[in-house]
Amino acid sequence: MEETISLRELFAVLRKRLWLIVLITIIAATVSAVISFFVLTPVYESKTQILVNQAKSDEQLYNTQTVQTNVQLISTYNDIIKSPAILDKVIKELKLDKSAQSLSGQIQVTNAQDSQVAQIVVQDTSAKRATEIANTTASVFKKEVPKIMNVDNVSVLSKATLGESASPVKPQPLMNIAIAVVVGLMVGIGLSFLLEYLDNTLKTEQDIENILELPVMGVITTIKDVPKATNVQRPDVAARVPQRGETLGS
C-alpha cells in the first residue's frame, strides 16, 4: 500500500514539536547576537577614487579609441595597485606591521562598467587607519605608475575622509540575527520531521489500522485511581443474626 502524507499530518507534526522549533530558533538567534555584538571585531571601510589616462593631452582624453584602451587597462591598474611594488611603499610610509600580501587582502579595486574611474576600497578594524591606507595607496600609485607603465596622468577624484561618527560595515548584527532565525527555523523543522520519522511507536488506533490494514473492534483504556469496594454497612441497616428460638423480625 502506497503511503501518503497529507498537509494536515505535516502541520500536526509541526504543531506537536512547536516547542522544539521555537527553542532552536531562539538559541540560534541568541548565539548570533552574542557573537555579532561581543565577539566579532568591527570592520570599517574607506574609499577613494582615481582617474587614470595614458597622456595629459585633452584631445586623447576625448578620443574614443583612447578612452576604450584606458577602460581595458583598468584591470591591469587594479593588479598594480595591489602589487608589492605599491603596497610595500604604503607599508613603509604608514609604518604598518603587516606584509604586502596581508594588506592586499584588505584592499579591493573596482570600477563601473565602461568607466575609467577606479575605486580603491579599504577595510580595517580602525576607521582612521582605513582612511590613511586608502589615501596613501592612491598617492603612491600616482607617483609610481609612470615608472611601471606609459601612464603619466593619474588624478585623485575624491580622497577618503574620516567621518565624526564612522559606523562599521562588518559585522551586521541585524542581518546575522535574521539569517540565524531562518537557519534555526529550518533546522528545527527538519529535526522535527526526523524525530517523527524515527518514532515507530504506536500511539493511536489509526496507527494500528494503517499498519495491520484491519479495523479496530475495540479499545481497552487505562483506568486509574479506581476506589476500592468496601463491605462496611451502616449500623441501623445491618442484618442481625437471629438467636435460637427467635424469628427474624421479632
Q: What is the pLDDT of residues 112-128, one digit of tens each?
A: 777 778 899 999 999 99
Cell digits of residue 127: 576607521
Cα 141 to chain centroid, rounded: 37
Cell digits of residue 4: 501518503
DSSP 47: E
Distance CA 16, CA 149 (A): 70
pTM comes to 0.66
- As a whole number of Å, the CA-based R_g of the chain is 41
Cell digits of residue 30: 541568541
* Per-residue confidence (pLDDT) for residue 61, from 0 to 100: 46
* Per-residue confidence (pLDDT) for residue 1, from 0 to 100: 41
DSSP 126: S
Tell me the average pLDDT across 183-211. 85
Other C-beta atoms lying within 10 Å of the C-beta of residue 50: 24
Cell digits of residue 124: 580595517
Ranking 8-12, 125-129, 130-134 by mean pLDDT, the lowest is 8-12
Ranking 13-17, 36-40, 159-163 by mean pLDDT, the lowest is 159-163
Residues whose CB is less than 8 angstroms from the CB of residue 209 and which lie 6 or more positions away in sequence, other chains included: 215, 216
Distance CA 58, CA 46 (A): 31
| 95 phi-psi bin (left φ>0, alpha ψ -120 to 50, beta other) | left
* Per-residue confidence (pLDDT) for residue 68, from 0 to 100: 67
Residues whose CB is less than 8 angstroms from the CB of residue 248 and which lie 6 or more positions away in sequence, other chains included: 242
* Per-residue confidence (pLDDT) for residue 79, from 0 to 100: 86
Cell digits of residue 148: 611601471
Confidence tier at 138 by pLDDT (50, 70, 90) = very high
Residue percentage of the chain with pLDDT more than 70: 76
DSSP 170: B
Highest averaged pLDDT of the listed ranges 2-6, 36-40, 200-204: 36-40
**Burial bucket for residue 202 (CB in 10 Å: 0-12, 13-18, 19+):** exposed
Find the DSSP H helices in the chain: 7-16, 18-34, 58-61, 64-72, 74-81, 84-94, 100-104, 127-148, 173-198, 205-212
* Per-residue confidence (pLDDT) for residue 4, from 0 to 100: 59
pLDDT above 90: residue 148: no
| 219 phi-psi bin (left φ>0, alpha ψ -120 to 50, beta other) | beta
Tell which wins on pLDDT, 89 or 61.
89
